[in-house]
Amino acid sequence: MMKYSYNMGGKVVLAGESGLNASFKDLCSVCDSIRHRSATDALSILEEASKGDLPILYRRHNKYMGSRHELGGKKGRYPMKCAAMVRKVVVNAIANARNVGEDPDSMYIVHAAANKTIIVPRSPPKGVRSMSGGYGYGSARRSNIELAKIEIGLAYRGTKGIGNRTARVIEAIAKSEPKRTSNNDNKGKQKPKQKPKTAPAQHAERTHSEEKTQKVN
């Protein structure tokens, strides 16, 4: 069972995945782009980012990185692999929320984090050592794999214990988002039926039209 670094005692629905062969720096930037947003908006952002249609803002680890006009001239790139990994964890968190009887459409991402877990040391194959005459420099004689993990947490607006800053940001984002109407809300609202015209009313309209035609003649 995965151990989470964020625990609210059942108030937050969590989901995670570890042992990922991906850059934890890219995963952190992707998590920053969806933090404090609703679950539905996070899925749409990650869907576009995983296809390469939307750049991700890099607040850190952006040395020698190009700027993007989509981000207002700020530095960013297209981590499609990491966006797909984070999207998978968000989908798992939404499924976990449904399993416990919650409504994920009304929940927000209060926790989104990525960390480096373990480093698997590797050495070059024997043929490379014999052909090159030795290991060479430090970067050439070792090629380690850095594994990472992702944590996603969902909660409702106004949940106590998520932090004052998190609550303020979620409230600001929720007010700026357009209101969505679900199909369940529209089911209860039915259009009023028009009352059929009674026979006297129809007869009165007919006589009134006949009087107009007689006056014209």
**Where do the domains of the chain lie?**
13-186
- Residues of the chain below pLDDT 70: 1-2, 8-10, 124-142, 178-217
pLDDT digits (tens, 9 = 90+) for 23-33: 999 999 999 99
Q: Which two tokens stand for residue 78?
A: 């297209």
**Per-residue pLDDT, 207:** 53
pLDDT digits (tens, 9 = 90+) for 151-175: 999 999 888 888 888 889 999 988 8
Which residues sit opposite 108 in a β-bridge? 38, 155
**Per-residue pLDDT, 161:** 81
Exposure pattern of 100-131 as b/e (b: 16+ CB <10 Å)? eebebebbbbbbbbbeeeeeeeeeeeeeeeee
Q: What stretches of the chain adopt beta strand conformation (E)?
A: 13-20, 56-57, 67-68, 74-77, 107-120, 145-156
3-state secondary structure of 61: coil
Fold of domain 13-186: Ribosomal Protein L22; Chain A (3.90.470)
**Pair type for strands 145-156 and 13-20:** antiparallel
Q: What is the pLDDT of residue 104?
A: 92
What is the pTM assigned to this prediction? 0.73
Q: Which pLDDT does position 187 carry in this prediction? A: 44
